[in-house]
């Protein structure tokens, strides 16, 4: 069974839906979440009309079934980068509801991000994936994402919370 819904760019009016999906994602993987209400408020600011992909901002894409029910999301932070003429897209989150995994929803969401990156002249799309998450690594590999700076070299995404 393939994906027969649609992927569209999320707007401010979709903040609560995007927030619920993000919260569900974190809950599924036992990762702390500030809760859907806090996330929705942040998303209302981030997805607002000033969010521009050319110089910075946040965008989201929603995958929906034919009836408009949300099936997944891709959340992207855009930033300028000295190594490219255009912005770099950081794929912060790619989430598909568990019952719809393996049916093309993730591929459709990722394709929407790649298409948008091409339209705005992005130099690269970056993402972080945990080494034990072999399914995610295999998925991203099938879609042309590689780790490291040299063939066969592993790459790590590091952070320090403040």
pLDDT 10s digits, 88-140: 999 999 999 999 999 999 999 999 999 999 999 999 999 998 888 889 989 99
CA distance 12 to 6: 18
pTM of the model as a whole = 0.91
CA distance 46 to 92: 13
Helix, strand, or coil (residue 11): coil
Domain presence at residue 161: no
pLDDT of residue 49: 66
Residue 114 domain boundaries: 6-142
Q: What is the mean pLDDT of the chain?
A: 90
Q: What share of the chain is helix, strand, coil (3-state, %, to 5)?
A: 35, 25, 45
pLDDT of residue 48: 76
Domain presence at residue 155: no
| Short-list 104, 33, 93, 34, CA closest to 71 | 104
Query: Hey, what are 17's tokens?
Result: 């839906």
pLDDT of residue 53: 54
Q: Rounded to 5 degrees, what are φ and ψ at 56?
A: 145, 160
Domain presence at residue 39: yes
pLDDT of residue 40: 98
Domain count, the chain: 1
pLDDT of residue 154: 75
Domain presence at residue 44: yes
**pLDDT at position 78 over 80:** yes
CATH of the domain at 98: 3.40.630.30
């Amino acid at each position: 069974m393939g994906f027969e819904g649609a992927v569209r760019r999320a707007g401010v009016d979709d903040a609560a839906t995007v927030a619920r999906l993000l919260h569900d994602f974190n809950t599924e993987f036992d990762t702390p979440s500030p809760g859907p209400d806090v996330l929705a408020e942040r998303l209302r600011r981030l997805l607002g009309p000033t969010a521009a992909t050319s110089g910075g901002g946040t965008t989201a894409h929603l995958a929906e079934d034919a009836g408009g029910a949300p099936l997944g999301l891709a959340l992207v932070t855009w930033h300028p980068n000295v190594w490219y003429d255009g912005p770099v897209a950081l794929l912060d989150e790619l989430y598909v509801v568990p019952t719809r995994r393996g049916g093309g929803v993730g591929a459709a969401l990722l394709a929407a991000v790649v298409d948008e990156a091409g339209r705005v002249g992005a130099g690269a799309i970056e993402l972080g994936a945990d080494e034990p998450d072999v399914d995610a690594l295999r998925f991203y590999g099938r879609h042309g994402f590689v780790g490291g700076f040299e063939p066969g070299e592993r790459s790590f995404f590091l952070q320090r919370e403040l």
